[in-house]
Amino acid sequence: MTRLPLVRFAGIGTAATLVQLAVFAVLNPWVPGLPANVLSWTVATLAANATQRSLAFSVHGTAGLGRDLAVGLVSSVLGLLVSVLIFGILDTEDTVTGLLILIGVNTAIGLSRYFLLRRWFLARTG
């Protein structure tokens, strides 16, 4: 398998992370860190999962779409849970610290998600 799917996945993940960081940075001065994190994660994840399915893994059409998006969403929840746990432990309201937390968590979880989703789509598409 070529590296192209990983490069595409990373590009989409990076774009989604930038969206998440931007939404978080806009919300955080008015909304506490934890809710800002959940809202920014939701926006970025919904867009990224559908895009990664088609661009990174070349799966198109509606056959299995619901299952594919559910697997992507469930795998993304781990990242959300880790970041929620960290925000709960650190109880930080500092936007820069919050952004650094999100970058670290997204990087670690993103790599795990790639290998999980690659396995899922290879098994599904044969």
Query: d(Cα 19, Cα 43) in Å, to the nearest integer?
Result: 8
Unique residue bearing structure tokens 């998600």? 113
Mean per-residue pLDDT, 108-115: 86
DSSP state of 58: -
pLDDT higher than threshold 80 for residue 124 = no
Q: Identify whether the C-beta of residue 79 lies closer than 8 Å to the C-beta of residue 105.
A: yes
Q: Which percentage of the chain shows pLDDT scores above 70?
A: 95
Q: What is the model's pLDDT at position 11?
A: 93
Q: What is the model's pLDDT at position 22?
A: 94
pLDDT higher than threshold 70 for residue 46 = yes
- 58 Rama sector, left if φ>0, alpha if ψ -120 to 50, beta otherwise: left
Q: Identify whether the C-beta of residue 59 lies closer than 8 Å to the C-beta of residue 67.
A: no
pLDDT higher than threshold 90 for residue 65 = no
pLDDT higher than threshold 70 for residue 54 = yes
Q: What's the whole-model pTM score?
A: 0.76
Query: d(Cα 47, Cα 53) in Å, to the nearest integer?
Result: 11
Q: Which two three-digit tokens encode residue 78?
A: 């781990």
Q: Which is higher by pLDDT, 86 or 93?
A: 86
Task: Kindly report which listed range (7-21, 43-57, 101-115) carries the lowest average pLDDT score.
Answer: 101-115
Q: What is the model's pLDDT at position 63?
A: 84
24 CB contacts (<8 Å, ≥6 apart)? 36, 37, 40, 95, 98, 99, 102
